[in-house]
A = this chain, B = another copy of it.
Amino acid sequence: MARTETATSEATGRSGLDESTRLALFRSIVEMRYFEERAHRLFLDNLVKGTSHLSLGQEAIAAGFGLAMRPDDYTFATYRGHAHTLARGVPMGPVLGELLGRKTGLLHGKGGSMHLTSVEHNMMGSYAIVGAHMPVAAGAAWSAQVRGTEQVAVCFVGDGTTNIGNFHESLNLAAVWKLPVVYVCENNLYMEYTPISKVTSVPNPAADRASAYGLESLIVDGNDPEAVYEMALERLARARAGEGPSLIEAKTYRKGGHSRADPAKYRPEEEVKEWLARDPVDNYRKRLLESGIDEATLVEIEKESLAKVDEADAEARAGPLPDVSSMETNVWSDGGSAWRR
């Protein structure tokens, strides 16, 4: 039977990571945190049109993987994909611009918050229909396998995604073909408003199902950037070495609601209190200080991150609206939308 490996870097004692790596992780989660807070503010100012799903509280997962991945590895994310997009080095301005529906947005306003994509950064897309990107990630991994490039595809899904057919079909196929793909389930305890425990037949929706595909059962503290980073390094290396796919369950929690307007009233106060006490940014900051990194360094990173967000904000707001004519471009490879002759 598959063993369950639970990884937290506290558990594994004091971190073996060098300072520059740890500061890189800190910078990454801080940038994501500030970015998402800004996105939320812009929504409250009614500048973000449509919906958006923030990674507030879940930054450590995106950061840990972002740092561990090779530049040519592929990312596949859900509609909750801002942090995963930034994690690949996609500049903040165009991302924020897309949220604001500007011509200067990452997708020029065609896709919006739920579909962030930057092929140039091997961020192969954000997918808004639950589970749909799981076989797509397998396909990218298959292509890397046959092309012999040693690239790995990393696919992020939620806990609710573990109950849809695509989860099953994708993991079976990935396992049979030993595909270089790492599936990461960000278990934030909720679908939209329904607790995952209410609709799932096992306590750990991803980890308890790994054995159904002959895979190891893996759980990591999704609020601990170092634990995620180390787990990512190990699993990416295995995939690159041709040892097949992994399914990782990262335990985490949303700071806020499911999407823009959701006040998340359905979550018990106790639970919220307990999890907010485990906030990845606050706690990592504390740990770094305890480990002797001086506060000025962190404050400097925070300053720089905030400046970066301010700059992106200004850039995004300054972006022009898309030309209406672009509505009819890029349906087809000829650049247009003509379907008849």
Which of A's residues lie within 8 Å of B, judged by CB? 1, 163-169, 171-173, 175-176, 198-202, 208-209, 211-215
Closest to A205 in B: B172
Would you call A201 and B171 a contact (CB within 8 A)? yes
Would you call B163 and A175 a contact (CB within 8 A)? no
A171 to B209, CA, bound (A): 12
What are 18 sample pairs from A and B whose C-beta atoms fall under 8 A apart? A163-B169, A164-B165, A164-B169, A165-B165, A165-B168, A167-B168, A168-B168, A171-B201, A172-B201, A173-B199, A175-B201, A176-B199, A176-B200, A176-B201, A201-B212, A202-B212, A202-B214, A208-B214
A173 to B164, CA, bound (A): 11
Chain B residues with CB below 8 A from A172, complex form:
163, 199-201
Chain B CB within 10 A, most for which of A165, A201, A202, A208: A201
Would you call A165 and B163 a contact (CB within 8 A)? no
Chain B residues with CB below 8 A from A169, complex form:
163-165
Chain B residues with CB below 8 A from A208, complex form:
211-212, 214
Chain B residues with CB below 8 A from A209, complex form:
212
Chain B residues with CB below 8 A from A213, complex form:
201-202
A15 to B253, CA, bound (A): 55
How far is the CB of A163 from the nearest CB of chain B, in Å? 5
A169 to B167, CA, bound (A): 10
Partner of A212, one of B164, B165, B173, B211: B211
Chain B residues with CB below 8 A from A1, complex form:
1
How far is the CB of A268 from the nearest CB of chain B, in Å? 20
Partner of A214, one of B165, B166, B167, B201: B201
Closest to A174 in B: B201
